[in-house]
Amino acid sequence: MKYYSLNKKSPVINFKEATINAQAPDMGLYFPEKLPEVSNALIKNMENLPDAEIAFRVIAPYVGDCIPNLDLFDIVKETVNFPIPLKKVGNIISSLELFHGPTLAFKDVGARFMSRCLGYFLKNEERKVTVLVATSGDTGGAVANGFYDVKGVNVIILYPKGRVSPVQEKQLTTLGKNIIALEVDGTFDDCQQMVKQAFIDKEINEKRFLTSANSINVARWLPQQFYYFFAYKQWKEKDKQPVVCVPSGNFGNICAGLLAKVTGLPLGHFIAACNANDIVSDYLKTETLVPKTAVATLSNAMDVGNPSNFVRIIELFQKQFPALKSNLSSYSISDTETIETIKRIYTQHYYTLDPHGAVAWLALERYLGQFPDEQGFILETAHPVKFPDAVIEATGKGVEIPLSISSIMHREKETIEIMPDFENLKDYLLA
The catalytic residue positions are 107
- Among 304, 358, 361, 296, residue whose Cα is nearest residue 165: 296
Cβ atoms < 10 Å from Cβ of 101: 23
SS3 letters across 199-250? HHCHHHHHHCEEEECCCCCHHHHHHHHHHHHHHHHHCCCCCCCCEEEEECCC
Tell how far CA 287 is from the center of its chain: 24
**Beta 86-88 vs 93-97: how paired, if at all?**
antiparallel
Q: How many helices (H) and strands (E) does the chain have?
A: 20, 14
Distance CA 317, CA 386 (A): 35
- Segments in 122-181 forming alpha helices (H): 138-147, 166-173
Q: How many CB atoms lie within 10 A of CB 327?
A: 17
Give CA–CA dist 205/196, Å, rounded.
12
Query: 391-406 as b/e, with b when 16 or more CB fall inside 10 Å?
Result: beebbeeebeeeeebe
Residue 160 and residue 186 in contact, taking contact as beta carbons nearer than 8 Å: yes
Query: What is each CA distance from 224 to 104, 111, 165, 276, in whole angstroms?
Result: 15, 10, 23, 25
SS3 269: coil
Which pairing describes strands 2-5 and 13-14: parallel, antiparallel, or unpaired? antiparallel
List of residues 6+ apart from 283 with CB closer than 8 A: 289, 290, 310
Q: Hey, is 5 helix, strand or coil?
A: strand
d(CA 375, CA 268): 9
